[in-house]
């Protein structure tokens, strides 16, 4: 095909792609109303970009004029920057959030975090200790059927701790994600009840976890249980507390809005609380992965699993204490 016919056939497609680039590259520097409409939907862009690259290759292969090759090359470079540069920037923003912004926001809410820690870990520790002295008290919290199922799952003879024989790691991974997200959302969303709902879910889940830990320890399944939870507990339990702090932030805005209306204070607090939830969601995902694919393994001795758990707890604590700090801060 001669160059003139080639240009005549594809000029309209190039022009549409160029106009789309103009509107994407200059949204803040130029009034979009002053730019010519591209006539191209965003869903069409990847296909249009691939065709443009094919046209550039053809123009080079057929030795078309340098002006045409240069124009198509510039369009391809601009398209690559818009399509893939945006993804790189998005990945950079995610990394910046996880490595710096999230731990800084958690440290900024240390008072709410302390309240959430007390409401959650207090019942866990108190009930786990109390059941060593009054083991029958567990029947007020867990049914005989639930206790039998727990003892089956954490029996040292079970080849997959914490799981039934019919369960698979992938199935449990999906279940743990759903369960963690549900719990985190409950702790967060019920903060709208002036923080009382958040406190209720933190305390009730603390009591449930304490009951499980205390009963299994008292019944002689302590090694299998604690070696199972040691790996994922750092991520999961910390994420629950962060969700609790986010919910308490909503409640605090309603209780003490300051000079703002309750609605304005709630909106401002919700923006910060949502960012805490983003970070907690990432921690829940990591916890679910560890719980599904590492925690059930019996090929490793308990001492190894305790060591991994201790390392993960140290990393989580160090992350929230040190990550995102500026030099000299």
Q: Model pTM greater than 0.85?
A: no
Same structural domain, 89 and 114: no
- The reply to whether 113 and 87 lie within a common domain is no
Residue 101 lies in a domain: no
Report yes or no on 103 lying in a domain: no
**pLDDT for 250-304, tens place per residue?**
999 999 998 889 999 999 899 889 999 999 999 999 999 999 999 999 889 999 9
pLDDT tens over the chain, length 329 residues: 788 888 888 888 888 888 888 887 765 444 444 444 455 777 788 888 889 889 888 888 888 888 888 888 888 888 877 777 655 556 777 888 888 999 999 999 999 999 999 999 999 999 999 999 999 999 999 999 999 999 988 988 888 887 766 578 888 899 999 999 999 999 999 999 999 999 999 999 999 999 999 999 999 999 999 999 999 999 999 999 999 999 999 999 999 998 889 999 999 899 889 999 999 999 999 999 999 999 999 889 999 999 999 999 999 999 999 998 875 45
What is the domain count for the chain?
Answer: 2
Q: Are residues 86 and 117 in the same domain?
A: no
Say how far apart CA 58 and CA 52 lie, in whole Å. 10
- 81 with 222, same domain: the answer is no
Residue 294 and residue 166 share a domain = yes
43 and 75 fall within a common domain:
yes
The answer to whether position 99 is within a domain reads no
Contacts 24+ apart (CB under 8 A), 255-262: 255/194, 255/195
Q: Mark whether 39 and 119 lie in a shared domain.
A: no
Q: Which of 214, 249, 312, 11 is nearest to 112 (CA)?
A: 249
181, part of any domain: yes
Query: Contact 192/250 with Cβ under 8 angstroms?
Result: yes
- Cα–Cα distance list, 283 to 43, 240, 271, 277 (Å): 32, 9, 19, 10
Residues 6 or more apart whose Cβ sits within 8 Å of residue 160? 167, 296, 298
Positive or negative, the CA dihedral 9, 12, 16, 18 is positive
Same structural domain for residues 66 and 139? no
- In this structure, are 114 and 72 located in the same domain? no
Name which of 72, 75, 70 is nearest 55 in CA terms. 72
Q: Are residues 73 and 176 in the same domain?
A: no
Q: Residue 92: CA atoms inside 13 Å, Cβ hemisphere, count?
A: 6
DSSP sequence for 61-82: HTT--HHHHHHHHHHHHHHHII
Residues 145 and 252 in one domain: yes
Q: Give the domain extent around 132.
A: 109-322
């Amino acid at each position: 095909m001669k160059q003139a016919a080639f240009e005549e056939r594809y000029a309209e497609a190039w022009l549409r792609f160029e106009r789309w680039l103009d509107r994407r590259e200059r949204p803040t520097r130029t009034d979009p109303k002053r730019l010519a409409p591209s006539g191209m939907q965003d869903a069409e862009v990847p296909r249009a970009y691939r065709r443009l690259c094919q046209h550039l290759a053809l123009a080079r292969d057929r030795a078309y004029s340098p002006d045409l090759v240069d124009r198509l090359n510039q369009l391809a470079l601009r398209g690559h920057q818009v399509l893939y540069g945006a993804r790189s920037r998005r990945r950079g923003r995610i990394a910046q959030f996880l490595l710096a912004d999230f731990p800084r926001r958690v440290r900024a809410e240390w008072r709410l975090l302390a309240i959430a820690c007390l409401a959650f870990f207090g019942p866990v520790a108190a009930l786990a200790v109390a059941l060593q002295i009054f083991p029958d008290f567990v029947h007020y919290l867990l049914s005989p059927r639930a206790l039998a199922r727990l003892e089956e799952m954490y029996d040292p003879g079970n080849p997959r701790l914490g799981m039934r024989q019919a369960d698979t790691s992938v199935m449990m991974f999906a279940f743990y994600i759903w369960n963690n997200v549900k719990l985190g959302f409950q702790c967060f969303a019920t903060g709208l009840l002036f923080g009382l709902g958040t406190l209720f879910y933190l305390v009730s889940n603390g009591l449930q976890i304490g009951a499980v830990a205390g009963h299994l320890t008292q019944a002689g399944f302590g090694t299998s249980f604690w070696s199972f939870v040691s790996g994922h507990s750092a991520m999961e339990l910390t994420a629950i507390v962060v969700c609790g702090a986010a919910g308490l932030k909503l409640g605090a805005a309603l209780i003490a809005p300051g000079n703002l209306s309750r609605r304005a204070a709630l909106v401002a607090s919700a923006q910060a609380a949502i960012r805490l939830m983003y970070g907690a969601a990432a921690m829940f995902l990591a916890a679910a992965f560890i719980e599904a694919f590492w925690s059930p393994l019996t090929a490793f001795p308990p001492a190894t699993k305790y060591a991994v758990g201790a390392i993960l707890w140290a990393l989580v604590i160090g992350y929230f204490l040190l990550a995102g700090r500026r030099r000299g801060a």
